[in-house]
Chain A
Amino acid sequence: GQQVMQIPQYQHVQEGEDFTTYCNSSTTLSNIQWYKQRPGGHPVFLIQLVKSGEVKKQKRLTFQFGEAKKNSSLHITATQTTDVGTYFCAGLDSGYALNFGKGTSLLVTP
């Protein structure tokens, strides 16, 4: 079945540094979704990418979907302490199951 791998597992940055997490799928995806989970909270949907090569921005967050629709990345520019949390990618293939990566936990120190 489809597997979604996400790296790194953890990232510790100083406030103001950039951060990137990468997601790779074993199969071609119909879309990929990104979620953020704050410590003690629940996953919150951030964005969905559907088209090959798609790039979307949300303020300091930039999301990319690979040309082959098998990989994706989330880049945060100039991190802030409010960015702390775990970021998950989730791939949707032709079926009805959203397969989550294991997430990247981001720690930002002032």
Chain B
Amino acid sequence: EAQVTQNPRYLITVTGKKLTVTCSQNMNHEYMSWYRQDPGLGLRQIYYSMNVEVTDKGDVPEGYKVSRKEKRNFPLILESPSPNQTSLYFCASSLWTGAFFGQGTRLTVV
């Protein structure tokens, strides 16, 4: 089954404690991206990757890092989370013919 898998689905953490949200896709897509969704602000792109070892900033990259060492994986790293990063995060793969989204990760930073 074609899918994008994110883990964890829910996470509560404390300010400053590094965390990683994993994302994996099984469709061999070259393009992957991360979004955050906040009430009233819609979906905003954090980072995207055109292919292995190729990443670029989206609209709201501050406070986030990504890596693309393998085609199927695109982890999102928060080196020092802050409360303003409390949000719903989505990973997606593919672009030009429609994006496939993961189930989402609801992150709370206290």
For residue B109, CB closer than 8 A to chain A, the reply is no
Neighbouring A residues of B103 by C-beta, 8 Å: 42
Q: How far is the CA of A44 from the CA of B35 in the complex (A)?
A: 14
The range of chain B's interface size is: 20 to 34
Nearest A residue to B54 by beta-carbon distance?
A: A96
Of the candidates A1, A31, A47, A98, the one whose C-beta lies within 8 Å of that of B33 is A98
User: Contacts A33-B99, A48-B98; is A43 near B43 (CB within 8 Å)?
Assistant: yes
Nearest A residue to B44 by beta-carbon distance?
A: A100
Q: B residues 3-25 with Cβ under 8 Å of A?
A: none
Distance in angstroms from A31 CB to nearest chain B CB is: 7
User: Contacts A48-B97, A96-B31; is A102 near B40 (CB within 8 Å)?
Assistant: yes
Number of A residues, CB within 8 Å of B: 21
A98 near B45: Cβ-Cβ < 8 Å: yes
Query: What is the interface of chain A, defined by CB distance below 8 A to chain B?
Result: 1, 31, 33, 35, 42-45, 47-48, 88, 90, 92, 96-103
Q: Please give me the 9 A-B residue pairs with the lowest Cβ-Cβ distance, nearest first.
A: A45-B98, A102-B42, A100-B43, A42-B101, A43-B101, A42-B104, A100-B42, A103-B42, A42-B103
Given A44-B101, A45-B99, 5 more A-B residue pairs with CB atoms under 8 Å apart are: A33-B98, A96-B56, A96-B95, A98-B99, A100-B42
